[in-house]
Structure 1
């Protein structure tokens, strides 16, 4: 399974499944959820809320509507907005459950954000390390490509460093320049 870190707007990505950084209520407010809702349309929020609330660390699936995907996997790495911050356990569980659900849906590609970081209050470096570890440890059935997405330049650099992807690209650049 290929694993990479990319930069951009998750709502502009194309993949079989996009992962929403959800709270347990599944209400799509701001951050990643807001970006997905603005592109997909308000129906995705209604659809998601009909499937909630969910337990911390679990996932729910909706149609992707106007997004470039077939599914949106809503991964609840944090409690309902403002109730409490994400934890290492909730981030690991939400990541693993999102990957498993993608396999259950026979997805070949998935894009996920830094679950539990941002509005959920978890440290981005530590969160990216946890997510990267879960991705690296996961043994896929159908998944072939996992992209961990960062919105800003700063997030991109932090996530790449935390997941070891910065080292890989430097090694690739060095070997290409030595040719």
Structure 2
């Protein structure tokens, strides 16, 4: 399974599945969730909320609507907005569960963001390391192309550096 770090807007990516950085309520607010909601249309938020709440670290799947993907995997790496921050274990579980669900859906390609970082309060380099370690340790059935997306140049540089460190260990 190939891991590539890319820079851009997750809502503009083409893949079998895109991962949303969700809270346990699955309400699609700002950040990654807001970008996906704007790209997919309001129906995605309605479907996501109907599948929640979920446990911390758990995932739920919706249609991708107007996005260039088949599925959106909503990964709850943080509690409901405003009620706490992401933890190392919630990021690890949300990443592993996203990979497993993508395989269950027979996806060959997956794009995921820095789950639990940003608005969820977890430090980017440490969160990226957890995500990269989970991807590196995962033994896929159908997944061949996993892209770790970063929105800004600064985020991209951090994630790229961490991914290279994990690959060389």
Deviations 1:118-173 (A, max 9, x none): 000000000000000000000000000100000000000000111117998xxxxx
Whether 1:128 and 2:131 are equivalent positions in the alignment is no
CA RMSD after TM alignment: 1.3
TM-score of the superposed pair, with normalisation by structure 1: 0.92
What is aligned with 1:103?
A: 103
CA distance in 2, matches of 1:15, 1:69: 5
Q: Which runs of 5+ in 2 are unaligned?
A: none
- Alpha-carbon distance in 2 for matches of 1:103, 1:166: 22
| Residue number in structure 2 paired with 1:88 | 88
Does residue 18 (structure 1) correspond to residue 18 (structure 2)? The answer is yes
SS of 1:83 mapped into structure 2: coil
Rg: which structure is higher?
Answer: 1
Q: In the alignment, is the contact (CA less than 8 A) between 1:161 and 1:167 conserved in 2?
A: no
Matches within 5 A, 1:6-155: 6-155=6-155
- Tell me the distance in 2 between the aligned counterparts of 1:167 and 1:17: 23
In structure 1, C-alpha distance between the alignment counterparts of 2:163 and 2:127, rounded to whole Å = 10
Give the C-alpha shift of residue 82 in structure 1: 1.0
In structure 1, list runs of 5 or more residues that go unmatched: 169-179
Give the C-alpha shift of residue 84 in structure 1: 0.5
SS of the residue corresponding to residue 67 of structure 2 reads coil
Q: Which residue of 1 aligns with 2:163?
A: 163
Q: Note closer, same or farther for the CA distance 1:2–1:165 as it changes in structure 2 (3 Å cut).
A: farther
Distance 2:112 2:13 in 1: 10
Answer whether contact 1:111 1:149 (CA < 8 A) is retained. Answer: yes
Could you tell me how far apart the structure 2 residues matched to 1:125 and 1:49 are? 30
Q: Secondary structure at the match of 2:6?
A: strand
Separation in 2, partners of 1:50, 1:131:
27
Q: Secondary structure at the match of 2:29?
A: coil
State the secondary structure of the residue aligned to 1:37.
Answer: helix
> Per-residue displacement from partner, 1:10-52 (whole Å, max 9, x unpaired)?
0000000000000000000000000000010000000000000
Q: How many residues align?
A: 168
